[in-house]
Amino acid sequence: MPDTTLTIDELTQLVTRIFLNAGVTPAQAGPVAQVIVAGERDGCKSHGVYRIEGCLRTLAAGKVQGQAQPVLQQDEGAIIRVDAGGGFSPGAFDLGAPLLARRAQDLGIAALVINNCTHFSALWPEIEALCDHGVAALAMCPSYSTVAPSGGNAPLLGTNPFAFGWPRPDKLPYVFDFATSVAARGEIELHRRAGTPLPEGWAIDRDGQPTTDPQEALDGAMLPFGGHKGSAISTMIELLGGAMIGDLTSRETLDYLGTTDYLPHHGELLIALSPERFSAGRPGDPFARAETLFKAISGQGARLPSQRRFAAREVSQRDGITLSGEEMARLTRLLDD
């Protein structure tokens, strides 16, 4: 099949149809397709269309519930909870996010706990959605044991993503979003598929020896970013986004699934903060001060995180999204299955 260029809408419809054909409810299929297409649109291949097969495998194994209806549990407090009912996380996030932002504006700070979900996507779509409401936000979730703690030699922690966003009036927000492993597991899988070696320092093999072979890395363990520092942040995510919210840690997720062939089932923690409320009564406008800082960073020739992504988005919005012949053939096969 030749390379094919689709508009963002065309690709979203195609991916949505794949999920509807697989028996997923429209309420879940739409938000799931949106985060997958957002990954392709923004040049984040590790969480783009390649993820669809993993979603379908997980559905077929009964490890994610395509018919689940997320339920919002709320009182007047700062903690909002959505039980995803074993379904995918994007629909559950969409249900809780507006209330999270409102509560943060009212109270200064609020948290959204999503329990009992399959979370397979990048975190930045959620962070951007919260920044659109004018709040700063943090998001984190465990994954499954694929990363050795710093100084250790076997998988225990997850690739545990961590993201932050700061709203910028009349501009796209400041957002960073990264795996707490040196690279996301999706990157290792893409290297395996392409037959290319990994950069050094990403992984160790089953015997705890450094490896650049993607298959040995998948069979062995990935490494945390920044040595003991990344290891500690990843451990914090196990505690806050697992144990504290009454959901699975990465080790418990792997025990539940028995394999990394399926997408991870666990919970997620999001925290939203109102810059206006935190700075009330103090000198200076927090948004203006943030702009001064961003300008100073750029002024040194450094780039802001998400700048590459936003540039890729602009190209996709203008020219469409080009998928390789192999990717299109896979999508067509998945649609017909």
Nearest by Cα to 159 from 84, 264, 258: 264
Question: How far is it, in rounded angstroms, from Cα 264 to Cα 88?
Answer: 10
Residue 186 binds to ligand PYC (criterion: CB under 6 A): yes
Residue 90 CB, shortest distance to ligand PYC, in Å, is 13
| CB-nearer residue toward ligand PYC: 137 or 184 | 184
Query: In the numeric block, which tokens belong to residue 114?
Result: 């999503």
115 φ/ψ angles, rounded to the nearest 5 degrees: -110, 155
| CB-nearer residue toward ligand NDP: 103 or 119 | 119
Binding ligand PYC (rule: CB under 6 A), the pick from 21, 46, 212, 279 is: 46
Catalytic residues: 46-47, 187
Binding ligand PYC (rule: CB under 6 A), the pick from 41, 63, 81, 185 is: 185
Cα 20 from chain centre: 22
Binding ligand NDP (rule: CB under 6 A), the pick from 41, 63, 191, 309 is: 309
Residue 164 binds to ligand NDP (criterion: CB under 6 A): no
Q: Of the listed pieces 106-114, 145-153, 173-181, 209-217, which binds ligand NDP according to CB under 6 A?
A: 173-181
Residue 32 binds to ligand PYC (criterion: CB under 6 A): no
Binding ligand NDP (rule: CB under 6 A), the pick from 118, 253, 306, 316 is: 306
Q: Of the listed pieces 63-71, 178-186, 240-248, 280-288, which binds ligand PYC according to CB under 6 A?
A: 178-186
Residue 131 CB, shortest distance to ligand NDP, in Å, is 13
| CB-nearer residue toward ligand PYC: 122 or 138 | 122
Question: How far is it, in rounded angstroms, from Cα 177 to Cα 159?
Answer: 12
Residue 119 binds to ligand NDP (criterion: CB under 6 A): yes
| CB-nearer residue toward ligand PYC: 157 or 184 | 184
Q: Residues near 301 by Cβ (< 8 Å), separated by ≥ 6?
A: none
Binding mask 32-51 for ligand NDP (x = CB under 6 A): --------------xx----
Residue 179 binds to ligand NDP (criterion: CB under 6 A): yes
DSSP assignment of 2-29:
--EEE-HHHHHHHHHHHHHHTT--HHHH
Question: How far is it, in rounded angstroms, from Cα 229 to Cα 235?
Answer: 10
Residue 234 binds to ligand NDP (criterion: CB under 6 A): no
Q: Is 142 helix (H, G, I), strand (E, B) or coil?
A: coil
Question: How far is it, in rounded angstroms, from Cα 21 to Cα 60?
Answer: 12
Tell me 319's DSSP state.
H
Question: How far is it, in rounded angstroms, from Cα 51 to Cα 59?
Answer: 13
Question: How far is it, in rounded angstroms, from Cα 296 to Cα 124?
Answer: 24
32 in Cβ contact with 20 (< 8 Å): no
Q: Of the listed pieces 16-24, 104-112, 121-129, 240-248, which binds ligand NDP according to CB under 6 A?
A: 121-129
Residue 256 binds to ligand NDP (criterion: CB under 6 A): no
What residue is closest to ligand NDP based on CB? 122
As beta bridge partners, residue 5 has 322
Binding ligand NDP (rule: CB under 6 A), the pick from 93, 164, 178, 202 is: 178
10 Å CB burial of residue 236 (0-12, 13-18, 19+) is middle
Question: How far is it, in rounded angstroms, from Cα 291 to Cα 328?
Answer: 42
- Which parts of this chain interact with ligand NDP (CB under 6 A)? 46-47, 119-124, 141, 143, 159, 161, 163, 176-179, 183-184, 187, 303, 305-309
